[in-house]
Amino acid sequence: MSAIVTTKAASREKSGGATLHGEIGQLLRQYRYQVGFTYCLLLGENSLRLLQPLLLGIAVNDLLQNSQQGLWWFVAGHAGMMSVQYTRQLYDTRVFSRMYAHRASGLVQQQRHQAVETSRIVARASLSRQFISFIEQQVPSLVTALFSCLGGILMLACYQTSLLFACLLLAAPVTLLNIFFAHSLRQVSCELHDRWEDEVHLIESGSDADIHRHYQGLAKCWIRMSDLEARTTGLTELMILSLMAWALVSVCRIPDILPGDIFAVFRYLMMFVVGIDSLPRLVEQVARLRDISRRL
């Protein structure tokens, strides 16, 4: 009976909660200048990263012709990217740590005034950290994935147009696969967060059997989430393997192609692959945040 009451109470609280866009939007408005500067550095870093395979290919071709000019361009580009990356990491840690301190303290005060149980406040204050982590880690990962996918295939088109169409052909089933993954994951995330919210109360007053069932339930949630991600990633990797094999044959048949150009093509292809591979984890984080936002 208590489990039914808890589920119904959680359901009522979710229905009146905030939206994911509302929570993220509020945080971005409050810290728009600091976050904006961080994201400008992020764009600069990814722009320089996108040039690296091209510069590396030029360096290889120049070195094969006993010239070091391309090598110095490659070193300068990589050093510039590392400098921007270092500056961004130093700056954004300070910004996002202050954001979490402000968000968590405000949430605790608000929910105490609403007479929410202490155990739920503790859980929600911890869960709210994931919004900051999303802005700090997942948004940069998303930007990097977009640069890797879109930038990578555009650069590949400069070498061979058929590579562009092959990548787009792969993107369609991968997108459908991740939509299905997000739908399945949302249900598991809801159950996982319900259990987290009741954890402190259960530890205080639950029996040994209740506590055992609670942690067994948490373990099952994590296993289901891992299985969903593994299936999605595994199917994606099979499609990527087909793309890589076809691209290897196709590129090596280009007349008079230089060794450095072949190297650059496969570096861009790997950028595209890494971007595609990052999608399941981004989908997982968004699905979990959508459920968390309804609780806050």
Domain locations in the chain as residue ranges: 2-293
Nearest-angstrom CA–CA distance, 81 and 85: 6
pLDDT single digits (tens) 226-237: 888 888 888 888
pLDDT at 5: 37
How far CA 168 is from CA of 154, 163, 240, in Å, comes to 11, 9, 12
**Chain segment 141-167, per-residue pLDDT in tens:** 888 888 888 888 888 888 888 888 888
pLDDT, tens digit, 9 for 90 and up, residues 17-29: 556 666 677 777 8
User: Does the CA dihedral 262-266-267-271 come out positive or negative?
Assistant: positive
Instruction: Determine whether 270 is exposed, middle or buried from the number of CB atoms within 10 Å of its CB (0-12, 13-18, 19+).
Output: middle
| pLDDT above 70 as % of the chain | 88
Residue pLDDT, tens place only, 71-90: 999 999 999 999 999 999 89
Closest CA to 79 of 99, 57, 55: 55
183-187's contacts with Cβ under 8 Å and 24+ in sequence apart are 184/228, 185/225, 185/228, 185/283, 185/284, 185/287, 185/288, 186/287, 186/290, 186/291
pTM here is 0.69
Average pLDDT over residues 99-117: 80
**Domain 2-293 is classified in which CATH homologous superfamily?**
ABC transporter type 1, transmembrane domain (1.20.1560.10)
Instruction: Specify the pLDDT at position 188.
Output: 82
DSSP conformational letter for 160: -
Burial of 289 (0-12, 13-18, 19+ CB in 10 A): buried
At 182 the pLDDT is: 79
Q: Can you tell me the mean pLDDT for 210-236?
A: 87
Looking at residue 22, its amino acid is G
What is the pLDDT of the chain when averaged over all its residues? 81
Q: What is the rounded average pLDDT of the residues 173-196?
A: 81
Q: What pLDDT shows up at residue 295? A: 62
Contact 53, 155 (CB under 8 A): yes
